[in-house]
Amino acid sequence: MSNFPKETQKSFVQQAKAWGESSVPPSLLATFIFAQHARPFQTLPMLFPPLLLFSTYLNLQGYKIDSAGTTAALSGSYIVLASRRRMGFVNKFGARGLIRGATIGLALANVVGGGLAYTFGSRSKEDDRGAS
């Protein structure tokens, strides 16, 4: 018998909730969106990076649940916007296609993680930390 404690593995829901409560995913998604739509400049998609960075700011200020909800909503909106564009089969495997796929995949992970964090987050714990 070992004296070391057993490592507990987190379930998928716990990992996704932790992902949604992190400040990194909205910043990373903002970076990917900016990389795709800065040249040539596209106005509508470029509205998302500042809003996602504001969500990161909310998270860093201690509003993790609100930040998760905002990130999930913005990521879902971006998925709808990005899925309206069509790409040819050959273009899907170029640099732009790979970045677009990574962006949509990250946005989908943000929708799941942020949605779980927003749905199952405990406001009483968040309020107690803010009052201290």
Q: What's the predicted TM-score (pTM) here?
A: 0.85
At 96, list the tokens: 């732009």
| CB distance 48 to 33 below 8 Å | yes
Length of the chain: 132
Domain boundaries, the chain: 13-122
Contacts of 116 (CB under 8 A, 6+ apart): 13, 16, 17, 20
Q: What pLDDT is attached to residue 4?
A: 59
- Give the model confidence (pLDDT) of 65-117 as tens digits: 999 999 999 999 999 999 988 776 667 778 888 889 999 999 999 999 999 99
Instruction: Tell me, rounded to whole angstroms, the distance of Cα 28 from its chain centroid.
Output: 8
**pLDDT greater than 70 at residue 44:** yes
